[in-house]
Structure 1
Amino acid sequence: MSKKFFNVRVYGLLINDDNEVLISDEQEHGIRFTKFPGGGLEYGEGLIEGLKREFVEECNTEVEVISHFYTTDFFVKSAFNDSQIISVYYLVKAVSDLRFATKTIVFDFDGEGDILQAFRWVKLSELTVDDFTFPTDQYVTDLLIKTI
């Protein structure tokens, strides 16, 4: 029998002055997916500390948390292992200059490798749940569309 465990994830909803939200196209070991920027909490980290670390690692950008947006309140099994995903989403704003390239085409990766990532800005007025791969991101997108 496989071991079950919880996987805590933290994500940031970064909206720019043009009412666009930042999304991340990724590929890991041949699996492509689109999600919000962020990732797994490391042991010993708080949620906000983990989110700030993820933005520095992925986007080379420091962020400040504006407010809590959503925490998973339904069961989600990981697409990658036997863990149960608990995701926390925050509205964030950049506190340093944006120092990362963005793309306009889905999965437009630079280079090759097992782990690839590319960012895109998507207008909130054009955002749909179909832009995202995972059920929690889709749910959050629906909430974001209704809220904004």
Structure 2
Amino acid sequence: MTSVNTALSDTDRRAIEDLILEHAWLLDHCRWHDVAELYLENGTLTVGTQTLVGRDQFHRWADTRAANSARRTHHQCTNIRLRRDDDDGASGTVMLVLHVSDGGDSPYVDFIGEYHDRYARDQHGIWRFNTRVLHPLAATRAP
């Protein structure tokens, strides 16, 4: 049960849920450069041993990702759990099942994990990712 002092307003909850889903949609529709705009200017994303810090690094990652255009993904995000933080920010967890198709192969589940997120408003009051860390729960091998 959500404690009163950790509950987000319906408006904030919806905005953060939209942010989470937009992140997945952009990745799945090959719009990797646009992902950077979902983060604060100095926001971070950690996946495995790689941490991207700031939008410049996100854009460099996007260039690398675009070079592997045969790899198509479907990010299935579920079990979104959000909490308001004391500093007017918010935090949350999101379960991820990553489906992949590599160059015409049958799709397969490549990864199961959980995002641990911190969200903050930018200077315009729009919710952005401050930090996003993907923790693996299970990884599978391509067929």
TM-score, reference length from structure 2 = 0.30
Specify which structure has the higher proportion of strand.
2
Q: Which has the higher contact order (CA 8 A, sep 6+)?
A: 1
TM-score, reference length from structure 1 = 0.29
Specify which structure has the higher proportion of helix.
2
